[in-house]
Amino acid sequence: MDKRKRELLLLLNRVLRNKISWLDGTYMGQNEWVLDVPDSHNRTINFTYRQVGYFPSQTWDHQDKLGFFVNPDWQEIPREPSADYYEVQRASGGVPFRLPDSLEKSIMRYEQLSNESTLFYSLPTG
């Protein structure tokens, strides 16, 4: 499972322009120094010591079709046409989190490639 989680994390970091990271259980309750991004009126950049990650303020009773608990007030992540999405380069900040409209297709192509290469490399030699 850890191998698969790492594989998906690497894949998402390849096809998305925003950096994706995984916070495991060891980060719960830990603090780190983070860049406090100023708003448009405040030009001062500060570092603050904050808790890593975030936690929901309430529990949810709603489940989606796959059985995951969801907040019914969540909004879907906005999509962009792939041609526009990939014109914007990765940035350390200021780029809104959006998804390319080709995300599912990219994941399916990767899975097909992964299955084909697994079959290829598992063929007996000799």
- What percentage of the chain has pLDDT greater than the value 70? 67
How does pLDDT run across 44-73, given as a tens digit for each residue?
777 888 777 655 556 667 777 777 777 777
How does pLDDT run across 79-103, given as a tens digit for each residue?
999 988 888 776 556 677 889 999 9
CB 18 within 8 Å of CB 95: yes
pLDDT at 69: 72
Nearest residue to 97 (alpha-carbon basis) of 25, 24, 5, 21: 21
Mean pLDDT confidence for 26-41: 68
Report the domain count for the chain.
1
Residues 53, 68: Cα–Cα separation, whole Å: 20
pLDDT at 102: 93
Residue 109: count of CB within 10 angstroms of its CB: 12
**Where does residue 117 fall: left (phi above 0), alpha (psi -120 to 50 degrees), or beta otherwise?**
alpha
Q: Whole-prediction pTM value?
A: 0.55
74 phi, psi to nearest 5 deg: -65, 145
Per-residue pLDDT band at 126 (split at 50, 70, 90): very low
pLDDT at 37 over 70: no
CB 29 within 8 Å of CB 55: no
Range of 65's domain?
2-122
- Judged by DSSP in three states, 105 sits in helix
